[in-house]
């Protein structure tokens, strides 16, 4: 059911009214929530930006969902990157010391996974935006027309029954 829901979201996003740029920007912002530990102050800021700036919110949700598994998988890399910056780069120590003794400490930047993943997301954000912008545009021109005729697409579309089923689903 979860996979089906994700597929529905994917199709809905790719065919939404938003421009490919808006969808790609939404995905790039949503990727932050997937790549970095969720309960941190920077994610609240990113959520605020996603709501205030005219990006695709469906794309934002999709980016979040898509990048959660990648975030888990890359944790060891983020940890190493964070440690390299926090511990093994003496030149940055004055910066960390100044942040640690100010309100910036609320962001938990001094945790290796948080810092490493935020840096990782900042590095990946632009490539994610570019790749998804091209992909969404090409999808709409070339793939969608052919895809909507396939049995698979019809099956997923037909699974609106799933939403009806959810109305009767007991609360958990």
Q: List the one residue from 5, 79, 125, 135 that touches other proteins (CB under 8 A).
A: 79
Phi and psi dihedrals of 148, rounded to 5? -70, -15
Name the residue among 69, 71, 67 with its Cα closest to residue 79. 71
Instruction: Write the burial class of residue 14 (CB in 10 Å: 0-12 exposed, 13-18 middle, 19+ buried).
Output: buried
DSSP code of 91?
G
Residue 53 vs 134, nearer CB to other proteins? 53
Q: How far is the CB of 37 from other proteins (least distance, A)?
A: 5
Residue 63 vs 116, nearer CB to other proteins? 116
Kindly report the CA angle at 115 between 44 and 20, in degrees rounded to 5? Answer: 55
Name the residue among 27, 26, 42 with its Cα closest to residue 117. 42
Name the residue among 170, 163, 117, 136 with its Cα closest to residue 58. 136
Name the residue among 112, 87, 108, 86 with its Cα closest to residue 39. 108
- The window from 7-15, 34-42, 125-133, 149-157 that contacts other proteins (CB under 8 A) reads 34-42
What is the length of the chain?
A: 172
Q: List the one residue from 52, 91, 161, 167 that touches other proteins (CB under 8 A).
A: 52
Per-residue mark of binding to other proteins, 94-133 (x: CB under 8 A): --xxxxxxxx-xx-x-xxxxx-x-----------------
Please tell me whether residue 156 binds other proteins under the rule CB under 8 A.
no
Name the residue among 74, 55, 75 with its Cα closest to residue 63. 55
- The window from 31-39, 132-140, 154-162, 164-172 that contacts other proteins (CB under 8 A) reads 31-39
Q: How far is the CB of 140 from other proteins (least distance, A)?
A: 17
Q: List the one residue from 15, 83, 119, 137 that touches other proteins (CB under 8 A).
A: 83
Where along the sequence are the contacts to other proteins (CB under 8 A)?
19, 37-39, 44, 47-48, 51-54, 71-72, 75-76, 78-79, 82-83, 86-87, 93, 96-103, 105-106, 108, 110-114, 116
């Amino acid at each position: 059911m979860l996979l089906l829901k994700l597929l529905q979201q994917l199709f809905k996003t790719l065919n939404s009214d938003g421009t490919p740029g808006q969808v790609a920007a939404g995905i790039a912002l949503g990727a932050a929530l997937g790549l970095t530990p969720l309960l941190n102050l920077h994610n609240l800021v990113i959520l605020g930006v996603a709501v205030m700036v005219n990006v695709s919110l469906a794309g934002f949700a999709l980016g979040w969902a898509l990048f959660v598994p990648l975030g888990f998988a890359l944790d060891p890399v983020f940890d190493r990157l964070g440690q390299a910056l926090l511990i093994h780069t003496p030149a940055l120590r004055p910066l960390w010391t100044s942040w640690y003794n100010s309100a910036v400490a609320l962001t938990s930047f001094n945790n290796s996974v948080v810092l490493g993943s935020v840096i990782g997301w900042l590095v990946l954000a632009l490539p994610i935006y570019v790749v998804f912008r091209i992909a969404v545009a090409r999808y709409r021109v070339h793939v969608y027309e052919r895809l909507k005729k396939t049995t698979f697409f019809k099956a997923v579309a037909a699974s609106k029954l799933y939403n009806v089923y959810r109305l009767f689903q007991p609360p958990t």
